[in-house]
């Protein structure tokens, strides 16, 4: 581990991820997915997990050098294959009551030099194979959490002018601040933060808008909301009854858009780091919920391949509001990591909706969800469309306009 990463900060991140993030219960197993780079964080999470009474803590690692080795040496058929048996085991664990922790810290440029077609094929094969393990997460059946580790490749992308070890130290500090871990009592920080998010959620649920209308540079979007949509944000109970905080950091309130009622144009306000490539200046046009035109100044082929993944990949399944004054946004840092960039900006997500953002959604079949406007896809990719130049109106069921955001801030 880089000498510049403050071990006390790393330990506090691990503790909060276990206690507030996943809120691991006594006797519960914990499944961790992580890059090998993040070993030190995995070990610290393991300590706090057993202190919290974990049954067994089980890691699944990925390794950047091994991923590159596949792209450089594997036979062509390998790019249409992912080991379903692995995800089957994870699905079994969740069925048996295990919680899930994902550690993100990947190099956003890892696959930038690789054939985009192979990247897309492997991404698709992996999404299909991983579905049994992702369904209980997307359906919020078990308590889960995503947290970040300042991996070398990622740190280098965020702070290209610094020596890599220093960049990792600086990124650790940024993760720490964004994750609201400073001060004497991070648990109290998180309780106060959740309360603020809940006030926004309650207001939006009371308004019960039919649609949102976004205007900004390159953006003029009418975004219908799903029938019976519910806004969510901050800590909430999974279906197993455990109250958890799925993302650390988190600044968003989010709900389910109507997959067939989105029209107009959107210009992304930040690059999108996706599967080892960076896509820049995304601009799209929606017609009846579907993206019918898409361009990007960089990575356009990656974007187009992504949109073609399946039927639902060119429709959206999540809409989220984040004020421009969020601490991550104010840091001015471009993280090239969705967990951070999505919490610095209003965003929408291509692909799968979260069933629990529709009333009674967890009880509905995919077909029933679809009828209410809930999108279905093997992908879920967030991209950023908020800035201090974007205004958002809520449109009520009777067609009146209510200001929701002005200049990127709550109105």
Query: Where along the sequence are the contacts to Zn ion (CB under 5 A)?
Result: 252, 254, 318, 320, 349, 382
At closest approach, how far in Å is the CB of 70 from Zn ion? 27
At closest approach, how far in Å is the CB of 23 from Zn ion? 20
At closest approach, how far in Å is the CB of 318 from Zn ion? 5
Q: Is the dihedral of CA 74, 78, 79, 84 positive or negative?
A: negative
At closest approach, how far in Å is the CB of 114 from Zn ion? 25
- Looking at the Cβ atoms of 55 and 351, the one nearer to Zn ion is 351
At closest approach, how far in Å is the CB of 372 from Zn ion? 19
At closest approach, how far in Å is the CB of 345 from Zn ion? 10
> Half-sphere exposure (CA, 13 Å, Cβ side) for 293?
9
At closest approach, how far in Å is the CB of 227 from Zn ion? 20
At closest approach, how far in Å is the CB of 343 from Zn ion? 8
> Running DSSP on this structure, what letter comes out for residue 19?
I
Residues 6+ apart with CB under 8 A from 209: 225, 394, 395, 396, 402, 404
**Residue 14 burial (CB count, 10 A):** 25
Q: Which two tokens mark 180?
A: 């609201």
- Looking at the Cβ atoms of 35 and 249, the one nearer to Zn ion is 249
Give dist(CA 169, CA 370) in Å, integer. Answer: 45
Q: Which residue carries 């900004």 as its tokens?
A: 216
Query: Among the residues of 254-391, which ranges form H helices?
Result: 300-307, 327-330, 338-341, 366-371
> Running DSSP on this structure, what letter comes out for residue 247?
B
- Looking at the Cβ atoms of 107 and 382, the one nearer to Zn ion is 382
- Looking at the Cβ atoms of 116 and 257, the one nearer to Zn ion is 257
- Looking at the Cβ atoms of 91 and 346, the one nearer to Zn ion is 346
- Looking at the Cβ atoms of 252 and 341, the one nearer to Zn ion is 252
Give dist(CA 287, CA 277) in Å, integer. Answer: 27
At closest approach, how far in Å is the CB of 351 from Zn ion? 9
- Looking at the Cβ atoms of 114 and 343, the one nearer to Zn ion is 343
Give dist(CA 15, CA 179) in Å, integer. Answer: 12
Nearest Cα neighbor of 94 from 127, 50, 141, 58 is: 141
At closest approach, how far in Å is the CB of 354 from Zn ion? 8
- Looking at the Cβ atoms of 272 and 349, the one nearer to Zn ion is 349
Give dist(CA 97, CA 397) in Å, integer. Answer: 41
- Looking at the Cβ atoms of 318 and 393, the one nearer to Zn ion is 318
- Looking at the Cβ atoms of 64 and 318, the one nearer to Zn ion is 318
Give dist(CA 99, CA 106) in Å, integer. Answer: 22
**Residue 206 burial (CB count, 10 A):** 8
37-43-46-48 Cα dihedral, nearest 10 degrees: -120
Burial 310-326 (b: 16+ CB within 10 A, else e): bebbbbbbbbbbbbbeb
Nearest Cα neighbor of 264 from 296, 286, 293 is: 286
Whether the Cβ atoms of residue 248 and residue 23 lie closer than 8 Å to each other = no
């Amino acid at each position: 581990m880089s000498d510049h990463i403050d071990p006390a900060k790393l330990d506090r991140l691990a503790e909060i991820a276990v206690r507030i993030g996943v809120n691991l219960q006594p006797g519960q197993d914990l499944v961790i997915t992580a890059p090998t780079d993040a070993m030190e964080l995995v070990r610290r999470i393991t300590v706090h997990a057993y202190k919290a009474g974990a049954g067994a803590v089980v890691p699944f690692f990925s390794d950047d050098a091994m991923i590159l080795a596949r792209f450089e040496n594997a036979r062509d058929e390998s790019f249409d294959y992912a080991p379903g048996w692995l995800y089957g085991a994870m699905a079994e664990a969740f069925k048996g009551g295990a919680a899930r922790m994902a550690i993100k810290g990947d190099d956003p440029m890892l696959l930038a030099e690789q054939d985009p077609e192979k990247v897309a094929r492997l991404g698709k094969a992996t999404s299909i194979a991983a579905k049994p393990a992702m369904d209980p997460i997307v359906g919020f059946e078990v308590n889960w959490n995503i947290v970040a580790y300042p991996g070398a490749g990622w740190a280098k992308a965020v702070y290209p002018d610094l020596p890599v070890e220093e960049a990792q130290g600086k990124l650790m500090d940024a993760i720490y601040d964004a994750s609201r871990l400073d001060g004497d009592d991070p648990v109290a920080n998180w309780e106060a933060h959740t309360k603020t998010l809940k006030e926004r959620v309650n207001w939006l649920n009371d308004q019960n808008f039919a649609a949102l209308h976004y205007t900004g540079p390159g953006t003029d979007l009418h975004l219908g909301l799903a029938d019976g949509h519910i806004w969510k944000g901050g800590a909430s109970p999974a279906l197993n009854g455990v109250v958890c905080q799925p993302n650390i950091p988190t600044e968003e309130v989010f709900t389910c858009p109507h997959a067939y009622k989105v029209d107009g144009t959107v210009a992304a306000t930040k690059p999108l780091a996706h599967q080892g490539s960076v896509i820049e200046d995304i601009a799209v046009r929606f017609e009846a919920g579907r993206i019918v035109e898409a361009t990007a100044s960089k990575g356009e082929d990656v974007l187009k391949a992504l949109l073609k993944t399946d039927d639902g990949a060119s429709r959206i399944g999540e809409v989220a509001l984040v004020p421009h004054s969020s601490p991550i946004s104010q840091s001015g840092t471009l993280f090239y990591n969705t967990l951070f960039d999505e919490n610095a900006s209003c965003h929408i997500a291509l692909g799968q909706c979260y069933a629990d953002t529709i009333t009674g959604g967890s009880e509905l079949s995919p077909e029933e969800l679809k009828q209410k406007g809930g999108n279905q896809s093997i992908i879920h990719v967030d991209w950023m469309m908020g800035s201090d130049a974007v205004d958002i109106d809520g449109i009520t069921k009777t067609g009146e306009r209510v200001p929701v955001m002005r200049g990127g801030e709550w109105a």
